[in-house]
Structure 1
Amino acid sequence: MPNSRKRPKLKIPKTKSEWFWDIIGYLFFLGSIIFLASVWGKLPEKVPGHYDAAGRVDRWGSKWELLILPGVGAILALLMQVLEKFPHIYNYPERLNALNAKQFYVHSRKLLNQLKNICLIFFALILLESIGIAMGWDNGFGKWFLPIVIIGIGIPIASGIVTQRKIK
């Protein structure tokens, strides 16, 4: 197994798709935080704290619990953003070499970037759903949200595996 310290360390600028995903992910995430701040004073003391697999609220909690989603999202984004800067430390197949390293690095970094931003979008949607339910505006996303999350994260991973196998 190759040692990550022996791999080439390449400085590869972000691709247009990475910039696109970052803009979309961070806009959703920051927008949800701004929205939370704007309705904070109007929120009831009890808000949805947890959902079951069918998307029904199965626990209510303090409105302060709504700060957990942006907190976890920010930590996740920060950690994944740092990891994007060091693609040479990821786990790669043994066929990685000096000739294909750039291809592997860009591909892996793009996948990590997509997953980071998809997670930020889902955190934003869950926060908006919780606010909407707490305020009595809607009943939530329902039973389709969990399958959409699984598909939304699963498709880039499956596509990434297929694409990585094509790298010679």
Structure 2
Amino acid sequence: MENRPHIKLELAKADRFVEWLGWSLLFGMFVYAFDSINSLPETIPVHFDIKGQPDGYGSSLTLLGLPIIALILSIGMTILNKYPEIFNYTVKINEENAERQYRAATRLIRWIKVAIILTFGLIMILMNISAKNQNSESLLWVLPVILMISFVPIIIYLIVSSNDKKVKGNSIKKK
């Protein structure tokens, strides 16, 4: 692997906001899960088909699994964000573009972290609503929203990071 500059990035206000948003949503997931468990039956829908119909059932304690997994992923992504020089980039990293590329990549990771938390939160809400009224057909909007939440940050990152390709001598050469 090529030697890339190691730069300690200071968090901008936008970065601090996204970090705060992610951790706040994660805290909210735990509150929602603990609050919901007491009001749900012992067995709830835990898996849904493409039409939003439950096709798997399990314990209401399953709700706790989603925020726990989101917490583990969030911690891992937070640690990973401290080492942007190990990421893969669409451009060759040099002294001139390193800070800009690292900042864009770490912001992408932050937004992906928020997207994961939102996605897991929506799944928890779907499970809760489905368990309470046994009708999840009205929740068909969840899948398109999850897809949008997942792909919008990546598309924005690709647009932002590709601006460096326009700088002369900055494209990755194919062997």
SS in structure 2 at match of 1:58: strand
Matched with 2:12 is 15
Task: Give the one of 134, 145, 153 matched to 2:150.
Answer: 153
Q: TM-score, normalised by structure 1?
A: 0.88
RMSD: 1.9
Unaligned runs of 5+ in 2: 168-175
Q: Which amino acid aligns with 1:44?
A: P
Evaluate the alpha carbon distance shift between residue 166 and residue 78 of structure 1 in structure 2; reply closer, same or farther with a 3 A threshold: same
1:62 matched to 2:63? The reply is no
Ranges in structure 1 where 5+ consecutive residues have no aligned partner = none
Aligned to 1:89: 86
| Aligned-partner Cα distance in 2 for 1:54–1:136 | 16
Bigger shift: 108-117 or 128-137? 128-137
Whether the 8 Å contact between 1:84 and 1:112 is mirrored in structure 2 is yes
> Residue 36 of structure 1 aligns with which residue?
33
Contact 2:47 2:56 in 1 (8 A): yes
Name which of 105, 109, 128 aligns with 2:106: 109
Structure number with the bigger relative contact order (C-alpha 8 A, sep ≥ 6) is 1
Q: Deviations over 1:87-114 (max 9, x none)?
A: 0110124531111100010010001110
Instruction: Compute the displacement of 1:140 (Å).
Output: 6.8
1:31 partner letter? G
Distance 1:85 1:23, change over 3 A: same
1:137 Cα deviation after fit: 8.9
Aligned pair count reads 165
Greater alpha carbon shift after TM alignment, 128-137 vs 17-26: 128-137
Partner SS, residue 49 of structure 1: strand
Residue 78 in 1 paired to residue 75 in 2?
Answer: yes
Match of 2:131 in 1: 134
Cα distance in 2 for residues equivalent to 1:19 and 1:47? 37
Distance 1:141 1:153 in 2: 21
Q: Distance in 2 between matches of 1:94 and 1:32?
A: 37
Alpha-carbon offset, residue 117 of structure 1: 0.8
Displacement of 1:115 after TM fit? Answer: 0.7
User: How much does 1:129 deviate?
Assistant: 2.4
Structure 2 distance, partners of 1:140, 1:120, is 23
